[in-house]
Chains A and B, each alone.
Chain A
Protein backbone atom coordinates (compact mmCIF):
# COMPACT_ATOMS: atom_id res chain seq x y z
CA UNK A 1 0.00 0.00 0.00
CA UNK A 2 1.34 3.41 -0.92
CA UNK A 3 2.13 5.91 1.75
CA UNK A 4 -0.40 8.28 0.20
CA UNK A 5 -3.20 5.71 0.56
CA UNK A 6 -2.32 5.00 4.16
CA UNK A 7 -2.36 8.71 4.80
CA UNK A 8 -5.80 9.07 3.21
CA UNK A 9 -7.23 6.15 5.15
CA UNK A 10 -5.81 7.35 8.45
CA UNK A 11 -6.95 10.87 7.78
CA UNK A 12 -10.44 9.85 6.69
CA UNK A 13 -11.03 7.35 9.49
CA UNK A 14 -12.06 10.02 11.94
CA UNK A 15 -13.74 12.09 9.24
CA UNK A 16 -16.02 9.11 8.68
CA UNK A 17 -16.27 7.98 12.29
CA UNK A 18 -17.30 11.38 13.59
CA UNK A 19 -20.46 11.66 11.44
CA UNK A 20 -21.02 8.08 12.52
CA UNK A 21 -21.04 9.13 16.15
CA UNK A 22 -22.87 12.40 15.63
CA UNK A 23 -25.37 11.43 12.92
CA UNK A 24 -25.66 7.68 12.29
CA UNK A 25 -25.93 6.73 15.96
CA UNK A 26 -28.35 9.51 17.01
CA UNK A 27 -30.44 8.80 13.91
CA UNK A 28 -30.57 5.11 14.83
CA UNK A 29 -31.21 5.61 18.54
CA UNK A 30 -33.89 8.23 18.02
CA UNK A 31 -35.68 6.37 15.23
CA UNK A 32 -35.52 3.03 16.99
CA UNK A 33 -36.91 4.47 20.22
CA UNK A 34 -39.85 6.06 18.45
CA UNK A 35 -40.32 2.87 16.44
CA UNK A 36 -40.53 0.82 19.63
CA UNK A 37 -43.25 3.01 21.08
CA UNK A 38 -45.24 2.81 17.83
CA UNK A 39 -44.60 -0.92 17.58
CA UNK A 40 -45.94 -1.60 21.07
CA UNK A 41 -49.13 0.25 20.19
CA UNK A 42 -49.46 -1.48 16.82
CA UNK A 43 -48.86 -4.88 18.40
CA UNK A 44 -51.20 -4.29 21.34
CA UNK A 45 -54.21 -3.14 19.33
CA UNK A 46 -53.88 -6.28 17.24
CA UNK A 47 -53.30 -8.56 20.21
CA UNK A 48 -56.19 -7.08 22.16
CA UNK A 49 -58.38 -7.12 19.06
CA UNK A 50 -59.42 -3.50 19.30
CA UNK A 51 -61.84 -3.23 16.42
CA UNK A 52 -61.11 -0.47 13.94
CA UNK A 53 -57.62 0.14 15.30
CA UNK A 54 -56.70 -3.44 14.58
CA UNK A 55 -57.56 -3.05 10.89
CA UNK A 56 -55.74 0.27 10.81
CA UNK A 57 -52.61 -1.39 12.22
CA UNK A 58 -52.84 -4.21 9.68
CA UNK A 59 -53.15 -1.68 6.86
CA UNK A 60 -50.20 0.34 8.12
CA UNK A 61 -47.99 -2.73 8.36
CA UNK A 62 -49.11 -3.94 4.95
CA UNK A 63 -48.21 -0.67 3.25
CA UNK A 64 -44.93 -0.05 5.06
CA UNK A 65 -43.60 -3.57 4.70
CA UNK A 66 -44.69 -3.71 1.09
CA UNK A 67 -42.79 -0.65 -0.15
CA UNK A 68 -39.04 0.01 -0.29
CA UNK A 69 -37.45 2.10 2.42
CA UNK A 70 -35.72 4.20 -0.23
CA UNK A 71 -39.05 5.03 -1.84
CA UNK A 72 -40.45 6.03 1.56
CA UNK A 73 -37.48 8.34 2.13
CA UNK A 74 -37.99 9.98 -1.26
CA UNK A 75 -41.73 10.40 -0.77
CA UNK A 76 -41.26 12.19 2.54
CA UNK A 77 -38.21 14.28 1.66
CA UNK A 78 -38.69 15.05 -2.05
CA UNK A 79 -42.40 14.42 -2.38
CA UNK A 80 -43.96 16.20 0.60
CA UNK A 81 -42.71 19.66 -0.41
CA UNK A 82 -45.19 19.63 -3.29
CA UNK A 83 -47.90 19.51 -0.62
CA UNK A 84 -46.21 22.43 1.07
CA UNK A 85 -44.60 20.27 3.76
CA UNK A 86 -40.87 20.90 3.74
CA UNK A 87 -38.82 18.97 6.26
CA UNK A 88 -35.11 19.29 6.96
CA UNK A 89 -33.23 16.12 6.01
CA UNK A 90 -32.51 14.78 9.50
CA UNK A 91 -36.06 14.99 10.89
CA UNK A 92 -37.38 13.57 7.62
CA UNK A 93 -35.02 10.62 8.02
CA UNK A 94 -36.06 10.09 11.64
CA UNK A 95 -39.72 10.06 10.61
CA UNK A 96 -39.21 7.56 7.82
CA UNK A 97 -36.96 5.23 9.78
CA UNK A 98 -39.32 5.25 12.79
CA UNK A 99 -42.36 4.56 10.69
CA UNK A 100 -40.60 1.86 8.72
CA UNK A 101 -39.00 0.12 11.67
CA UNK A 102 -42.24 0.23 13.67
CA UNK A 103 -43.98 -1.97 11.11
CA UNK A 104 -41.34 -4.69 11.40
CA UNK A 105 -40.97 -4.49 15.18
CA UNK A 106 -44.75 -4.58 15.59
CA UNK A 107 -44.88 -7.95 13.87
CA UNK A 108 -42.07 -9.27 16.04
CA UNK A 109 -43.84 -8.05 19.16
CA UNK A 110 -47.23 -9.36 18.15
CA UNK A 111 -45.77 -12.82 17.63
CA UNK A 112 -44.04 -12.56 21.01
CA UNK A 113 -47.26 -11.51 22.74
CA UNK A 114 -49.00 -14.49 21.25
CA UNK A 115 -46.18 -16.74 22.45
CA UNK A 116 -46.77 -15.83 26.11
CA UNK A 117 -48.75 -18.75 27.54
CA UNK A 118 -52.46 -18.01 27.89
CA UNK A 119 -52.36 -19.22 31.48
CA UNK A 120 -50.37 -16.13 32.46
CA UNK A 121 -53.28 -13.92 31.48
CA UNK A 122 -55.79 -16.20 33.18
CA UNK A 123 -53.77 -16.33 36.39
CA UNK A 124 -53.62 -12.54 36.36
CA UNK A 125 -57.36 -12.18 36.03
CA UNK A 126 -57.89 -14.76 38.76
CA UNK A 127 -55.85 -12.73 41.25
CA UNK A 128 -58.07 -9.76 40.40
CA UNK A 129 -55.84 -7.75 38.07
CA UNK A 130 -57.37 -5.77 35.23
CA UNK A 131 -56.53 -6.41 31.59
CA UNK A 132 -54.20 -3.42 31.43
CA UNK A 133 -52.49 -4.35 34.69
CA UNK A 134 -51.88 -7.86 33.41
CA UNK A 135 -50.53 -6.58 30.10
CA UNK A 136 -48.20 -4.09 31.72
CA UNK A 137 -46.86 -6.24 34.55
CA UNK A 138 -47.03 -9.80 33.26
CA UNK A 139 -47.55 -10.24 29.54
CA UNK A 140 -45.52 -7.38 28.02
CA UNK A 141 -42.39 -8.00 30.10
CA UNK A 142 -42.46 -11.64 29.05
CA UNK A 143 -43.12 -10.75 25.43
CA UNK A 144 -40.15 -8.39 25.42
CA UNK A 145 -37.92 -11.19 26.56
CA UNK A 146 -39.16 -13.45 23.83
CA UNK A 147 -38.79 -10.67 21.27
CA UNK A 148 -35.40 -9.47 22.46
CA UNK A 149 -33.15 -11.30 19.94
CA UNK A 150 -35.35 -10.39 16.98
CA UNK A 151 -35.67 -6.79 18.07
CA UNK A 152 -31.91 -6.57 18.34
CA UNK A 153 -31.66 -7.97 14.86
CA UNK A 154 -33.90 -5.15 13.66
CA UNK A 155 -31.69 -2.66 15.44
CA UNK A 156 -28.53 -3.97 13.77
CA UNK A 157 -30.19 -3.86 10.36
CA UNK A 158 -31.25 -0.34 11.05
CA UNK A 159 -27.72 0.89 11.76
CA UNK A 160 -26.76 -0.22 8.27
CA UNK A 161 -29.97 1.03 6.65
CA UNK A 162 -29.30 4.54 7.87
CA UNK A 163 -26.73 4.73 5.04
CA UNK A 164 -29.74 5.18 2.75
CA UNK A 165 -30.29 8.57 4.37
CA UNK A 166 -27.34 9.80 2.29
CA UNK A 167 -29.83 9.84 -0.59
CA UNK A 168 -31.81 12.59 1.08
CA UNK A 169 -28.73 14.69 1.94
CA UNK A 170 -28.25 13.56 5.51
CA UNK A 171 -24.50 13.73 6.12
CA UNK A 172 -24.12 10.44 7.90
CA UNK A 173 -21.14 8.12 7.55
CA UNK A 174 -21.77 7.00 4.01
CA UNK A 175 -22.32 10.51 2.70
CA UNK A 176 -19.10 11.59 4.45
CA UNK A 177 -17.27 8.77 2.70
CA UNK A 178 -18.68 9.68 -0.70
CA UNK A 179 -17.39 13.19 -0.27
CA UNK A 180 -13.89 12.00 0.55
CA UNK A 181 -13.98 9.65 -2.44
CA UNK A 182 -14.91 12.55 -4.67
CA UNK A 183 -11.84 14.40 -3.46
CA UNK A 184 -9.29 11.58 -3.38
CA UNK A 185 -10.43 9.12 -6.09
CA UNK A 186 -9.85 6.11 -3.83
CA UNK A 187 -13.28 4.45 -3.92
CA UNK A 188 -12.18 0.90 -3.16
CA UNK A 189 -10.13 1.70 -0.06
CA UNK A 190 -12.59 4.23 1.32
CA UNK A 191 -15.77 2.19 0.77
CA UNK A 192 -14.03 -0.74 2.40
CA UNK A 193 -13.10 1.55 5.24
CA UNK A 194 -16.64 2.73 5.83
CA UNK A 195 -17.83 -0.86 5.56
CA UNK A 196 -15.35 -1.73 8.26
CA UNK A 197 -16.69 1.00 10.53
CA UNK A 198 -20.26 -0.28 10.04
CA UNK A 199 -18.94 -3.72 10.90
CA UNK A 200 -17.43 -2.31 14.09
CA UNK A 201 -20.76 -0.82 15.11
CA UNK A 202 -22.62 -4.05 14.36
CA UNK A 203 -20.04 -6.10 16.21
CA UNK A 204 -20.41 -4.01 19.34
CA UNK A 205 -24.19 -4.38 19.11
CA UNK A 206 -23.83 -8.13 18.68
CA UNK A 207 -21.80 -8.26 21.88
CA UNK A 208 -24.46 -6.25 23.68
CA UNK A 209 -27.09 -8.64 22.33
CA UNK A 210 -25.15 -11.69 23.54
CA UNK A 211 -24.69 -10.23 26.99
CA UNK A 212 -28.36 -9.29 27.10
CA UNK A 213 -29.53 -12.68 25.99
CA UNK A 214 -27.38 -14.37 28.57
CA UNK A 215 -28.95 -12.29 31.31
CA UNK A 216 -32.43 -12.87 29.98
CA UNK A 217 -32.00 -16.57 29.25
CA UNK A 218 -34.01 -17.55 32.29
CA UNK A 219 -35.66 -15.54 34.97
CA UNK A 220 -33.26 -15.26 37.84
CA UNK A 221 -30.79 -17.19 35.73
CA UNK A 222 -28.03 -16.21 38.15
CA UNK A 223 -28.78 -19.00 40.54
CA UNK A 224 -28.84 -22.67 39.68
Chain B
Protein backbone atom coordinates (compact mmCIF):
# COMPACT_ATOMS: atom_id res chain seq x y z
CA UNK B 1 0.00 0.00 0.00
CA UNK B 2 2.92 2.30 0.77
CA UNK B 3 6.27 1.69 -0.83
CA UNK B 4 9.19 4.05 -0.49
CA UNK B 5 12.38 3.68 -2.47
CA UNK B 6 15.70 5.34 -1.80
CA UNK B 7 14.38 8.35 0.10
CA UNK B 8 17.13 10.91 0.65
CA UNK B 9 17.16 14.09 2.68
CA UNK B 10 19.90 16.47 3.67
CA UNK B 11 19.97 19.53 5.90
CA UNK B 12 22.59 22.13 5.08
CA UNK B 13 24.77 19.66 3.25
CA UNK B 14 24.58 16.91 5.87
CA UNK B 15 22.91 13.71 4.74
CA UNK B 16 20.28 12.89 7.33
CA UNK B 17 18.46 10.16 5.41
CA UNK B 18 20.78 8.16 3.20
CA UNK B 19 18.41 6.24 0.99
CA UNK B 20 15.56 4.75 2.96
CA UNK B 21 13.42 2.04 1.39
CA UNK B 22 10.46 0.48 3.08
CA UNK B 23 7.19 -1.20 2.39
CA UNK B 24 3.98 -1.12 4.36
CA UNK B 25 1.12 -3.50 3.63
CA UNK B 26 -2.47 -2.80 4.51
CA UNK B 27 -3.04 -3.71 8.17
CA UNK B 28 0.64 -3.58 9.08
CA UNK B 29 1.69 -1.89 12.27
CA UNK B 30 5.29 -0.94 11.63
CA UNK B 31 7.41 0.17 14.55
CA UNK B 32 10.46 2.28 13.84
CA UNK B 33 13.14 2.09 16.52
CA UNK B 34 16.51 3.71 16.68
CA UNK B 35 18.76 5.94 18.74
CA UNK B 36 18.23 9.66 19.04
CA UNK B 37 19.30 11.51 15.91
CA UNK B 38 18.83 8.46 13.68
CA UNK B 39 16.47 10.43 11.43
CA UNK B 40 13.19 8.81 12.46
CA UNK B 41 11.27 12.05 12.80
CA UNK B 42 12.76 13.37 9.59
CA UNK B 43 11.64 10.20 7.79
CA UNK B 44 8.04 10.54 8.96
CA UNK B 45 8.03 14.24 8.12
CA UNK B 46 9.26 13.47 4.61
CA UNK B 47 6.57 10.83 4.18
CA UNK B 48 3.90 13.41 4.90
CA UNK B 49 5.76 16.25 3.15
CA UNK B 50 6.27 18.41 6.21
CA UNK B 51 9.82 18.23 4.85
CA UNK B 52 10.56 17.90 1.19
CA UNK B 53 12.79 14.92 0.40
CA UNK B 54 15.75 15.51 -1.92
CA UNK B 55 15.13 12.32 -3.83
CA UNK B 56 13.36 9.00 -3.87
CA UNK B 57 10.12 7.48 -4.99
CA UNK B 58 6.83 6.66 -3.36
CA UNK B 59 3.99 4.40 -4.32
CA UNK B 60 0.91 5.16 -2.32
CA UNK B 61 -2.65 4.03 -2.78
CA UNK B 62 -1.99 2.87 -6.32
CA UNK B 63 -0.18 6.01 -7.47
CA UNK B 64 3.48 6.63 -8.16
CA UNK B 65 5.30 9.78 -7.05
CA UNK B 66 8.77 11.22 -7.48
CA UNK B 67 9.44 12.68 -4.04
CA UNK B 68 11.57 15.63 -5.07
CA UNK B 69 9.24 16.66 -7.87
CA UNK B 70 5.83 16.04 -6.38
CA UNK B 71 3.30 18.83 -6.89
CA UNK B 72 1.32 20.67 -4.24
CA UNK B 73 -1.84 19.17 -5.57
CA UNK B 74 -0.48 15.64 -5.29
CA UNK B 75 0.66 16.37 -1.75
CA UNK B 76 -2.80 17.65 -0.85
CA UNK B 77 -4.30 14.46 -2.29
CA UNK B 78 -1.97 12.23 -0.29
CA UNK B 79 -2.57 14.16 2.92
CA UNK B 80 -6.29 13.63 2.65
CA UNK B 81 -5.60 9.89 2.93
CA UNK B 82 -3.04 10.02 5.73
CA UNK B 83 -2.90 11.28 9.29
CA UNK B 84 -0.12 12.35 11.61
CA UNK B 85 0.14 12.16 15.38
CA UNK B 86 2.84 14.45 16.72
CA UNK B 87 5.12 13.98 19.67
CA UNK B 88 3.84 17.20 21.26
CA UNK B 89 0.21 16.70 20.19
CA UNK B 90 -0.19 19.95 18.23
CA UNK B 91 -3.89 20.20 18.92
CA UNK B 92 -5.39 23.42 17.59
CA UNK B 93 -5.32 25.47 20.75
CA UNK B 94 -8.20 27.72 19.72
CA UNK B 95 -10.52 24.77 19.11
CA UNK B 96 -12.30 22.42 21.50
CA UNK B 97 -11.60 18.69 21.54
CA UNK B 98 -14.56 18.03 19.28
CA UNK B 99 -13.68 20.89 16.93
CA UNK B 100 -10.14 19.58 16.70
CA UNK B 101 -11.53 16.33 15.40
CA UNK B 102 -14.16 17.78 13.06
CA UNK B 103 -12.01 20.56 11.55
CA UNK B 104 -10.41 18.24 8.99
CA UNK B 105 -13.81 16.82 8.07
CA UNK B 106 -15.85 20.00 7.79
CA UNK B 107 -13.21 22.37 6.43
CA UNK B 108 -10.84 20.16 4.47
CA UNK B 109 -13.31 17.52 3.28
CA UNK B 110 -16.48 19.63 3.14
CA UNK B 111 -18.46 17.09 5.12
CA UNK B 112 -21.87 18.27 6.42
CA UNK B 113 -21.49 19.54 9.97
CA UNK B 114 -23.98 17.15 11.58
CA UNK B 115 -22.28 14.12 10.08
CA UNK B 116 -18.84 15.40 11.12
CA UNK B 117 -20.02 16.00 14.68
CA UNK B 118 -21.35 12.47 14.84
CA UNK B 119 -18.09 10.99 13.60
CA UNK B 120 -16.11 13.25 15.93
CA UNK B 121 -18.21 12.35 18.93
CA UNK B 122 -17.80 8.69 18.19
CA UNK B 123 -14.04 9.00 17.65
CA UNK B 124 -13.65 10.78 20.99
CA UNK B 125 -15.83 8.23 22.73
CA UNK B 126 -13.54 5.49 21.47
CA UNK B 127 -10.56 7.07 23.17
CA UNK B 128 -12.58 7.53 26.34
CA UNK B 129 -13.17 11.27 26.12
CA UNK B 130 -16.95 11.51 25.78
CA UNK B 131 -17.05 13.84 28.75
CA UNK B 132 -14.42 16.22 27.34
CA UNK B 133 -15.92 17.21 24.00
CA UNK B 134 -16.11 20.91 24.84
CA UNK B 135 -12.76 21.19 26.58
CA UNK B 136 -9.96 23.21 25.07
CA UNK B 137 -6.50 21.63 24.81
CA UNK B 138 -5.16 23.72 27.69
CA UNK B 139 -7.85 22.22 29.90
CA UNK B 140 -6.74 18.65 29.17
CA UNK B 141 -3.90 16.54 30.51
CA UNK B 142 -1.13 15.52 28.15
CA UNK B 143 -2.51 12.01 27.84
CA UNK B 144 -5.97 13.35 27.09
CA UNK B 145 -4.56 15.75 24.50
CA UNK B 146 -2.75 12.95 22.76
CA UNK B 147 -5.91 10.85 22.76
CA UNK B 148 -7.76 13.75 21.13
CA UNK B 149 -4.97 13.86 18.55
CA UNK B 150 -5.48 10.14 17.92
CA UNK B 151 -9.22 10.67 17.53
CA UNK B 152 -8.47 13.50 15.11
CA UNK B 153 -6.23 11.18 13.11
CA UNK B 154 -8.74 8.35 12.98
CA UNK B 155 -11.80 10.48 12.21
CA UNK B 156 -10.79 11.03 8.59
CA UNK B 157 -10.48 7.27 8.13
CA UNK B 158 -6.97 7.50 6.65
CA UNK B 159 -5.20 4.74 4.77
CA UNK B 160 -2.22 5.10 7.08
CA UNK B 161 -1.49 6.90 10.34
CA UNK B 162 2.01 8.15 11.18
CA UNK B 163 2.94 8.43 14.84
CA UNK B 164 6.07 10.28 15.92
CA UNK B 165 6.92 9.16 19.44
CA UNK B 166 3.36 9.62 20.64
CA UNK B 167 4.23 9.09 24.30
CA UNK B 168 7.61 10.80 24.61
CA UNK B 169 6.19 14.10 25.84
CA UNK B 170 4.06 12.42 28.49
CA UNK B 171 4.61 11.74 32.17
CA UNK B 172 5.21 8.02 32.66
CA UNK B 173 1.84 7.48 34.32
CA UNK B 174 0.07 8.86 31.25
CA UNK B 175 1.80 6.80 28.56
CA UNK B 176 -0.37 3.74 29.27
CA UNK B 177 -3.64 5.32 28.21
CA UNK B 178 -2.16 6.52 24.91
CA UNK B 179 -0.48 3.21 24.12
CA UNK B 180 -3.78 1.50 24.90
CA UNK B 181 -5.58 3.70 22.36
CA UNK B 182 -2.99 2.81 19.72
CA UNK B 183 -3.23 -0.86 20.63
CA UNK B 184 -6.96 -0.73 19.99
CA UNK B 185 -6.39 0.76 16.56
CA UNK B 186 -3.97 -2.03 15.80
CA UNK B 187 -6.59 -4.57 16.84
CA UNK B 188 -9.01 -2.98 14.36
CA UNK B 189 -6.51 -3.51 11.59
CA UNK B 190 -5.47 0.11 11.06
CA UNK B 191 -2.31 0.59 9.04
CA UNK B 192 0.21 2.49 11.13
CA UNK B 193 3.82 3.58 11.11
CA UNK B 194 4.91 4.24 14.68
CA UNK B 195 8.20 5.81 15.67
CA UNK B 196 8.71 4.92 19.31
CA UNK B 197 11.18 4.53 22.12
CA UNK B 198 8.82 2.10 23.84
CA UNK B 199 10.57 -1.08 22.85
CA UNK B 200 8.11 -3.19 24.81
CA UNK B 201 5.22 -1.63 22.96
CA UNK B 202 6.90 -2.21 19.61
CA UNK B 203 7.43 -5.83 20.50
CA UNK B 204 3.88 -6.44 21.69
CA UNK B 205 1.87 -4.44 19.20
CA UNK B 206 3.72 -4.05 15.93
CA UNK B 207 3.69 -6.62 13.18
CA UNK B 208 6.92 -5.40 11.62
CA UNK B 209 9.85 -3.52 13.09
CA UNK B 210 12.48 -1.31 11.51
CA UNK B 211 15.69 -0.34 13.26
CA UNK B 212 17.23 2.89 12.03
CA UNK B 213 20.60 4.41 12.72
CA UNK B 214 22.44 7.35 11.21
CA UNK B 215 19.96 7.86 8.43
CA UNK B 216 19.90 4.25 7.34
CA UNK B 217 17.84 1.17 8.01
CA UNK B 218 19.97 -1.29 9.97
CA UNK B 219 17.48 -4.10 9.87
CA UNK B 220 13.85 -4.65 9.18
CA UNK B 221 11.63 -7.64 9.43
CA UNK B 222 8.71 -9.17 11.22
CA UNK B 223 8.68 -8.07 14.83
CA UNK B 224 9.00 -11.63 16.05
CA UNK B 225 12.04 -12.33 13.91
CA UNK B 226 13.74 -9.04 14.68
CA UNK B 227 13.36 -9.39 18.43
CA UNK B 228 13.96 -13.10 18.77
CA UNK B 229 16.47 -13.70 16.06
CA UNK B 230 18.05 -10.50 14.81
CA UNK B 231 20.26 -10.83 11.76
CA UNK B 232 22.46 -7.84 12.52
CA UNK B 233 24.88 -7.56 15.38
CA UNK B 234 23.90 -3.91 15.75
CA UNK B 235 20.26 -4.85 16.30
CA UNK B 236 21.26 -7.26 19.01
CA UNK B 237 23.29 -4.55 20.76
CA UNK B 238 20.44 -2.07 20.51
CA UNK B 239 17.90 -4.50 21.95
CA UNK B 240 20.26 -5.71 24.68
CA UNK B 241 20.74 -2.14 25.74
CA UNK B 242 17.00 -1.91 26.36
CA UNK B 243 16.75 -5.31 28.02
CA UNK B 244 19.31 -4.17 30.57
CA UNK B 245 17.29 -1.10 31.52
Contact = CB atoms under 8 A, between A and B. Distances in A.
Q: Do A and B bind each other?
A: yes
Nearest to A124: B92
A163 to B, nearest CB: 37
A120 B93 CA distance: 8
Contact of A218 (B82, B103, B136, B152): B136
Contacts of B103: 124, 127, 129, 137-138
A98 interface: no
A120 B136 contact: no
A145 B50 contact: no
A223 B139 contact: yes
Given A123-B84, A138-B94, A145-B94, 17 more contacts: A119-B88, A120-B90, A123-B91, A126-B83, A127-B104, A127-B156, A130-B108, A137-B103, A137-B107, A142-B94, A218-B139, A219-B93, A219-B94, A219-B138, A219-B139, A220-B96, A220-B135
6 contacts: A120-B90, A128-B156, A129-B104, A133-B107, A137-B107, A218-B138
B203 interface: no
Nearest to A117: B90
A113 to B, nearest CB: 14
Interface string B168-206: 000000000000000000000000000000000000000
A24 to B, nearest CB: 34
A127 B156 CA distance: 8
Contacts of A142: 93-94
Interface residues of A, number: 23
Contacts of B139: 218-220, 223-224
Nearest to A128: B108
Nearest to B135: A220
Which 7 A-B pairs have CB atoms at the shortest separation, nearest pair first? A127-B104, A128-B108, A119-B90, A220-B136, A219-B136, A123-B90, A126-B84
A126 B138 contact: no
Contacts of B107: 129, 133, 137
B137 interface: yes
Nearest to A126: B84
Given A141-B94, A219-B138, A224-B139, A129 B108 contact: yes
Interface in A6-36: none
B156 A123 contact: no
A127 B108 contact: yes
A128 B136 contact: no
Nearest to A142: B94
Nearest to B77: A128
Contacts of A145: 94
Contact of B79 (A117, A128, A220): A128
Interface string B199-223: 0000000000000000000000000
A122 interface: yes
A117 B135 CA distance: 20
Contacts of A220: 96, 134-136, 138-139
A128 B104 contact: yes
A128 B135 contact: no
Contacts of A133: 107-108
Contacts of B90: 117, 119-120, 122-123
